[in-house]
């Protein structure tokens, strides 16, 4: 008789929630760890990760040949090769450390995932990322990685609640305007937190705006979370009295929180905004309320901010990419894994040693025509002066750009085209061909609900 690798979700959720509750005091205490405490934890975790990967992962055994985990120091990390998404996906089965697992099983689990994850062998959950911005990444998280991921996301919120008088008797209800499917981390939040003190209720971002607003008004959540582009549109509904909610806090995630979106959301809901960075690969960070600097989970991840040549970037300079080593996930070791986000390191905090940085978006959002590079800010600086432009998508063409814009009222597309042409010329792209058109809606990724705003050739 063959036993199915697919197992019920409820037992894994109960196990994860029990661990989250047990570890909450320690996780909150970690927010105040010094740089020395974090470095000691990173060294211990890295040595254990390398030893496990060498023993269990054929992919890493080849790449780490000659490495002695017992003597490995943090300063030795740059000697190891960079791990790309393409390499990971091409050698997926060999990256995994449990021989029962495979890409075929992970893909089947993802295909069967709806509002809840489809666990494998009672201890693994699968998520996917990147489908709207290039090659998909498939990730298998073991129980420890799941607990670490959720703890890193929630501990700052728990700390603020405890400092302000504690959790209310019925817990906190958080409306989550994000992905509908648990294949994406935001879509899985309602499933993992169901019955817990911080309970997320999903409002799929792919729903029509009016339906999102109706569900929110019926729910009357204690707090609001979601993609900033969606919350900015809901902010207009709130200002124009088509939505009436009073969240005590707002959390944005999964997209760059543009200044104009921040201002619109803050003004409409009158609540402090916490900006959150959460990658399926395990890197997580949250800002203080109404701050633009994000503090990352350096106790669980080693982060290297590097330039195009792989050299460390100084404080204040944007990175070309981020190299991540996740210390928690032993099922699918990510060692110097490349993430194409632009981080700008911020000055160290006085009360802890965690990495602090501003996130400027994806490095591959920069558009290039030969030697000419145009940063997204060039285009955003025009759109931010166009209040009617609620959302947009830019496609690079051989000689310029095509802009699709979602407008709340009639828009002067010809005027917008001229302004964009002037801005691109000032940025070095002379005689740029600019096409502007109005759309009623965008095709968002059906799984993640995300929309890529800058699409290169």
Q: What is the phi/psi pair of residue 370, to 5°?
A: 60, -120
| Nearby residues of 165 by Cβ (< 8 Å), 6 or more positions away | none
Whole-structure pTM value: 0.82
- Supply 71's token pair: 């003597």
Residues of the chain with CATH 3.30.300.30: 367-455
Tokens 């997209």 found at: 255
Q: β-strands 341-345, 337-339: how paired?
A: unpaired
The yes-or-no verdict on residue 1 having pLDDT over 60 is no
Q: Are 300 and 282 in contact (CB under 8 A)?
A: yes
Q: Cα dihedral sign for 205, 208, 210, 214?
A: negative
Would you place residue 436 in the very low, low, confident or very high pLDDT band (cuts 50, 70, 90)? very high
- The whole-number pLDDT of residue 133 equals 44
| Residue 382 confidence (pLDDT) | 80
CATH class held by domain 367-455: alpha beta
Question: How much helix, strand and coil, in percent to the nearest 5, is found in the chain?
Answer: 35, 25, 40
Average pLDDT, the chain: 90
Predicted confidence at residue 132, as pLDDT, reads: 41
Percent of the chain at pLDDT exceeding 70? 94
pLDDT in tens, 368-403: 898 887 867 678 768 766 767 777 889 999 999 999
Six-digit token pair at 30? 């970690």
Q: What is Dmax (Cα atoms) for the chain? A: 70
| Residue range 347-362, pLDDT digits in tens | 999 999 999 999 987 6
Q: How far apart are CA 329 and CA 141, in angstroms?
A: 6
Kindly write down the DSSP assignment for every residue of 133-153, as one continuous string.
Answer: SSS-EEEEEEHHHHHHHHHHH
Instruction: Please spell the DSSP secondary structure of 196-222, one letter per residue.
Output: SSEEEEEEETTS-HHHHHHHHHHH--S
Angle (CA) 138-52-93 rounded to 5° is 35
């Amino acid at each position: 008789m063959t036993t199915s690798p697919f197992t019920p979700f409820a037992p894994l959720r109960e196990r994860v929630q029990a661990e989250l509750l047990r570890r909450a005091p320690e996780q909150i205490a970690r927010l105040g760890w010094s740089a020395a405490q974090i470095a000691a934890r990173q060294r211990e975790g890295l040595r254990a990760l390398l030893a496990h990967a060498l023993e269990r992962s054929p992919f890493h055994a080849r790449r780490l040949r000659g490495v002695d985990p017992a003597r490995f120091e943090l300063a030795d990390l740059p000697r190891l090769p960079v791990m790309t998404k393409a390499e990971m996906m091409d050698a997926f089965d060999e990256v995994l450390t449990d021989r029962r697992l495979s890409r075929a099983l992970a893909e089947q689990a993802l295909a069967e995932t709806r509002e809840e994850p489809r666990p494998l062998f009672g201890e693994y959950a699968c998520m996917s990322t990147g489908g709207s911005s290039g090659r998909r990444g498939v990730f298998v998280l073991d129980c420890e990685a799941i607990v670490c991921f959720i703890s890193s996301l929630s501990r700052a919120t728990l700390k603020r609640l405890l400092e302000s008088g504690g959790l209310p008797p019925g817990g906190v209800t958080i409306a989550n305007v994000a992905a509908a499917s648990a294949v994406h981390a935001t879509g899985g939040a309602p499933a993992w937190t169901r019955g817990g003190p911080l309970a997320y209720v999903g409002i799929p971002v792919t729903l029509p705006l009016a339906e999102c607003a109706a569900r929110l008004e019926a729910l009357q959540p204690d707090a609001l979370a979601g993609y900033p582009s969606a919350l900015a549109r809901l902010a207009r509904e709130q200002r124009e009295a088509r939505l009436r909610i009073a969240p005590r806090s707002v959390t944005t995630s999964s997209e760059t929180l543009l200044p104009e979106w921040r201002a619109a959301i803050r003004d409409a809901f009158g609540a402090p905004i916490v900006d959150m960075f959460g990658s399926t690969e395990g890197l997580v960070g949250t800002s203080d309320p109404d701050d633009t600097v994000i503090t990352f989970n350096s106790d669980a991840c080693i982060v290297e901010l590097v330039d195009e040549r792989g050299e460390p970037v100084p404080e204040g300079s944007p990175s070309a990419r981020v190299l991540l080593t996740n210390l928690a996930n032993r099922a699918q070791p990510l060692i110097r894994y490349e993430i194409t986000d632009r981080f700008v390191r911020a000055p160290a905090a006085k009360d802890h040693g965690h990495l602090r940085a501003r996130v400027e978006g994806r490095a591959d959002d920069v558009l290039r025509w030969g030697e000419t590079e145009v940063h997204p800010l060039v285009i955003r600086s025009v759109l931010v002066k166009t209040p009617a432009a609620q959302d947009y998508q830019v496609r690079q063409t051989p000689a310029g750009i095509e802009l699709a814009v979602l407008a709340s009222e009639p828009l002067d597309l010809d005027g917008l085209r001229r302004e964009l042409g002037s801005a691109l010329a000032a940025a070095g792209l002379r005689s740029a061909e600019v096409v502007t058109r109005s759309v009623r809606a965008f095709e968002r990724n059906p799984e993640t609900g995300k929309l890529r705003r800058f699409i290169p050739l």
